[in-house]
Amino acid sequence: MSLTSIGSQKTPGRPVEITFAGETGLPSDNQELLLIGHAASGATGTDTVITISNVSDVDAATTEAETKFGAGSEMAKMVIAAVAANEGGSTFPSIKCCPLEHDETTIPTAAQTAIKAVKAEFLVTCYDMQNDTTERDILKAMALAMSGAQRVHNNQFGTFGLGVNNDVSDPANLTMFDTQYLIGCWLRDSGTPDYSLGEQAAAMAAKIAANTIPFNPLDDVTIANLDAPASQSDWPTVGSGLESETCLEQGWTPVYVKPNGEVAFVRTVTGRISSDGSGTPVVTAYYDVQDFQVLYYWRKTLYTRFSQPDLKQTKASTENARLIKGEAIRLAVAFEDQNMFQAVSKLAKDFLIERSLTDRHRFDIKTPVNVIPGLHVIATNIEATTLYDVVTI
C-alpha cells in the first residue's frame, strides 16, 4: 500500500499532503431532549422541530422559549422546567422542541414525521402516560422507530419516550406497558399541582439526561425546582412492600418527596418487565434506564469508530476484519476503564467477526458485553451478640 496518495511526477519537487487519521476515542456522551407540548395560539413553527439555544440559564431560556412559543404556553413552561431541573449543575443536555397547535389533542402525523427525523435520546410528552393511551402508543412507536439498527445513519442510537402520571392513587393500578422504549414516572398529587404533567415530565427527563458516562444510578437524586405535592398524604411511601416497590414492579419510575421537601427519584427504570413483552417471565436484569444508556452509547461508539476514513474507503479483507475486531475489543476495554463494562478480558474471546453468507461486501460482528449493574440495595445483617461479654479482673 502506498504511503501517500500523491500522484507521480518527474519534475523535481517536494509535494506534501495532509491526511487525517481516524478518531479512535470515545464519542460525545451528550444526551438530548425533545419536548412535545402546546404552543400559544398563533405561534409559528408548529409540528416542526425547533432547537433551544439557552439550556444552562433559566432566565435566558425563559426569554427564548416565550419568544418562540408564547409567554405562558405549555411548550415554553416545559422548556423552563427542563432547564431549571439542572440549575446549579454542571451538565446541561441539549433541548429540541416540537410545538403543537394550542388546541391540538394528539401528536399529528406531521409532528411525528419531524420528530423521527432528528436525534433525541428522550422524547418528552405533555400527555398523561397512564390515561392517554393513544398518545402513549404514538410515543412508543416513535421511540421504537428511532432506536432501530438502521437509524444510526441519522445519528440516532437509542431513544426513550418519557411521560408522567399523578392521578393514580394506588400504584398497583399503573399500566404495565412492558417495553424498554417507555419511561413512566409516577408522583401522586390529588391537589392542583403547580406544574403541569408536561412540565413535570420535562424536568424529570432533563435530570436523567444530564447523567452522562458512566451513567450511574439516580437513586435519591433531587430534581431541582420541582415542587412537592401540597398534601403530605400524597407523598409516596418508600421501601420494600410499600408504594415505591409496587410502582417499580409495574415497570414505572417512582418519584418521592424527601423529608426536606425536595422531589427525587427512587430509582429510574424503563417499562421493561419481560424479555419479549409478554409479561412473563419477569426479567431480573437490563431494565434500568442507565443499562440502556450504556448499551446505546456502545452502539454510538462502534458506529463512530467504524465510520472513520480508515474503515470506510477500504477493502473487505482479512486484515481489515482483524482490525475491526481488535478495535471493538479495544473500545470495550475503554468502556471497562470508564466503569461501564466488566469482564471484558473474559468476553473478548467471544467477540466474533465473519463475512456475511449472502453479501461478500459485508462483515457481521458480535460483541458480547456485560454492563455493570447499578448498586441499588445493600442488605446488612446486624447481629446483636453477647460474645466477649465477660469482665475479667
Position 325, amino acid: K
| pLDDT at residue 136, rounded to an integer | 98
Phi then psi for 92, rounded to 5 degrees?
-130, 105
Position 362, amino acid: R
CA distances from 106 to 79, 125, 387 (A): 19, 10, 68
Task: Per residue of the chain (393 residues), give pLDDT as tens.
Answer: 678 989 999 998 989 998 888 888 999 999 999 999 999 999 999 999 999 999 999 999 999 999 999 999 999 999 999 999 999 999 999 999 999 999 999 999 999 999 999 999 999 999 999 999 999 999 999 999 999 999 999 999 999 999 999 999 999 999 999 999 999 999 999 999 889 999 999 999 999 999 999 999 999 999 999 999 999 999 999 999 999 999 999 999 999 999 999 999 999 999 999 999 999 999 999 999 999 999 999 999 999 999 998 898 899 999 999 999 999 999 999 999 999 999 999 999 999 999 999 999 999 999 999 999 999 999 999 999 999 998 888
**What is the rounded distance in angstroms from the CA atom of residue 317 to the CA atom of residue 355?**
9
According to DSSP, the β-strands at 32-38 and 94-100 are parallel
Burial (Cβ within 10 Å: 0-12, 13-18, ≥19) of residue 281:
exposed
Find cell 438502521 and name the residue: 150
pTM reported for the whole predicted model? 0.94
Task: Return the bridge partners of 254, or none.
Answer: 186
**SS3 label, residue 305:** helix
Contact 89, 210 (CB under 8 A): yes
For the record, the C-alpha cell of 329 comes out as 475489543
**What is the rounded distance in angstroms from the CA atom of residue 50 to the CA atom of residue 53?**
10
For the record, the C-alpha cell of 183 comes out as 419511561
**SS3 label, residue 173:** helix
Contact 193, 158 (CB under 8 A): no
The residue among 116, 108, 96 whose CA lies nearest residue 49 is 96
* All residues at 6 or more sequence positions from 74 whose CB lies less than 8 Å from its CB, including other chains: 37, 38, 39, 126, 196, 198, 199
Contact 139, 161 (CB under 8 A): yes
For the record, the C-alpha cell of 369 comes out as 458485553
Rg of the Cα atoms in the chain: 25
For the record, the C-alpha cell of 303 comes out as 458506529
How many other CB atoms are there within 10 angstroms of residue 348's CB atom?
Answer: 17
Contact 224, 264 (CB under 8 A): no
| pLDDT at residue 235, rounded to an integer | 97
Torsion (CA) 109, 111, 113, 117 in degrees, nearest 10: -170
The residue among 342, 345, 361, 363 whose CA lies nearest residue 353 is 363
